[in-house]
Structure 1
Amino acid sequence: MSDSRAIIIDGDQAVFEITFGNALTTMVPIGNMKGSGEATFDSNTLCVLGDEKELKVENVPYNSPPFVGGQGTVKIEKLESDQVAGHTNSGGKKVILKGKKFKAKLEVSSPAKDPNGVPDPNVMYTGGMGEFKTTNTKFTGT
């Protein structure tokens, strides 16, 4: 089976890289997908297009020099074309595939501050990436 064609199922992980443009998180953000498809695999609901918008990792520490000590929420910004099935669907929605890497963003919830206490003016950092880690090794989509 091609690992990149594996269908993402409820509970699979979205593992984000630590770089979001000029911002760096001080931990590896990891979130669990919540499936809303009608079909299941090994008692786990399939993840369908739109489920990625519900995933968020909150209270992620970040720095963007000279600003340090901020917190934000990491989200999937956009899936790539190899992460959306062309034909396989569940409940009329295309299933999400492992694919390669998705685009990610960091939304600032508590701005980092510079040495003078001036807050980071950015409310969001884009340019992040992440990938799915799946326990599904048998069920693929096209």
Structure 2
Amino acid sequence: MSDFILITGDKAMFNPTFGQAIVTVRPGDLIGIGKDKINQKLVCVDGDEKKVIVPGCTYMTPQYSIPGVGILSIQSLAGNQKAKKTKSGGKPVLLKGGSFTAKFQVMVPAQQPSVPSPIPDATPQYSGTGTFISMNIKIKGT
């Protein structure tokens, strides 16, 4: 199955639901290191998704209503987001595909209001999903 090849400047859009946590998400930017270009921008290859990091995102849960802060990243790609045949510089190119698995790493825990002091969220990270938005609407890879 062919799909659009991801390029530098494309966006990783995170869904705000990470299990119990609701995250105030922002898109992450992809930066390609492939050897080929589409629209004068380098294509993204296997491994480029690991450099997508979105710090400073707030979150809360039903139990912990005082917001905390964490970092969004891509944990793993779906099977249809890495080309089987199309390569750039010897590495598989990344494709728009379906949904990737995302990770929300807690840096400052959300807190539950409590007297005399709030109770911090003990969960170190949450899992979620996201998709890619590509500016390349012409060239596909397989």
TM-score scaled by length of structure 2: 0.93
1:120 corresponds to which letter in structure 2? D
Which residues of structure 1 form unaligned runs of 5+?
none
Residue 48 in structure 1 maps to residue 45 in structure 2: yes
Match of 1:131, SS state, is: strand
Q: Map residues 1-80 of structure 1 onto 2, 5 A cutoff.
A: 5-25=3-23, 27-67=24-64, 68-80=66-78
2:97 corresponds to which letter in structure 1? G
Match of 2:12, SS state, is: strand
C-alpha separation between the residues in 1 aligned to 2:11 and 2:132?
6
Contact 1:49 1:94 in 2 (8 A): yes
Which residues of structure 2 form unaligned runs of 5+?
none
Q: Greater Rg, structure 1 or structure 2?
A: 2
Deviation at 1:135, TM superposition (A): 0.6
C-alpha separation between the residues in 2 aligned to 1:30 and 1:60?
11
Residue 118 in structure 1 maps to residue 98 in structure 2: no
Aligned pair count reads 138
Deviation at 1:64, TM superposition (A): 1.6
C-alpha separation between the residues in 2 aligned to 1:44 and 1:94?
17
- The percent identity for this pair of structures is 41
Regions of 4+ moved over 2 Å: none
Q: RMSD between aligned alpha carbons? A: 1.2
TM-score scaled by length of structure 1: 0.93
Q: Map residues 68-107 of structure 1 onto 2, 5 A cutoff.
A: 68-107=66-105
1:37 corresponds to which letter in structure 2? G
Deviation at 1:103, TM superposition (A): 0.7
C-alpha separation between the residues in 1 aligned to 2:124 and 2:31?
26
